[in-house]
Chain A
């Protein structure tokens, strides 16, 4: 374990479903991130939270809705997704001033 835990590890959902991805970090970091990793593409930054405030939304469709209730937890709420949203969703955390990222193991999402 890296200190960043993501659940569930795998998720299959229909296009009309609503689900949430969860991320929890026990490293005392003050910044958390959501990334999308599709096949043969670089990691794409989706959202950044610093000190529990969203500081970046990288032109992500509104069907993805992040939530950061405290510095240790990050959620990604999903609704009415499309098949092209199928990917590995990675959570990461860092101590912002140091910049070192720790990634979770990811949630493999399949939209059917």
Chain B
């Protein structure tokens, strides 16, 4: 069964600090992995997408890593800001008929406090 496990479930950090969120998956076959940011009461917004051959990708203060061998990904947030408070969702997609074979993690809820 395809699964995406995220840790920690929730995290509180001080403004300006760095943090790393983890994503482990058992999805097979693998097409790509995305990290989404979801503000409270809003829809998820894509931060990064990584394919099998990519090890790291950055989007501003967000840096995602992917180890396809161990089936692990991480999202590193540098110099956190209050606006980073949100849920971060890891999504793994499988190739196949259509683009809707996605497996979602439950998300990590990040709270950045002053």
Contacts and interface: CB of A to CB of B under 8 A. Distances in A.
B100 A42 contact: no
Nearest to A10: B41
Interface size grouping (class) on chain A: 20 to 34
Contacts of B4: 42
Contact of B32 (A2, A43, A88, A99): A99
Nearest to A108: B41
A94 B99 contact: yes
Interface in A56-106: 56, 88, 90-92, 94, 96-106
B98 interface: yes
A108 B40 CA distance: 11
Contact of B106 (A41, A90, A92, A94): A41
Contacts, number: 63
Interface residues of B, number: 23
Contacts of A101: 34, 46, 99, 102
Interface SS of chain A: strand
A21 interface: no
B42 interface: yes
B44 A96 contact: no
Given A42-B4, A42-B105, A103 B43 contact: yes
Nearest to B41: A108
A108 B49 CA distance: 27
Contacts of B42: 105-106
Interface of A: 2, 4, 6, 31, 33, 40-43, 45, 48, 50, 55-56, 88, 90-92, 94, 96-106, 108
Given A42-B107, A92-B43, A105-B41, 19 more contacts: A2-B43, A2-B45, A4-B43, A41-B106, A43-B44, A43-B89, A45-B102, A50-B98, A55-B98, A90-B44, A94-B99, A96-B99, A97-B99, A99-B93, A99-B99, A101-B102, A102-B46, A103-B44, A105-B42
List of 5 A-B pairs having minimum Cβ-Cβ separation, nearest first: A103-B43, A99-B99, A42-B104, A43-B104, A48-B100
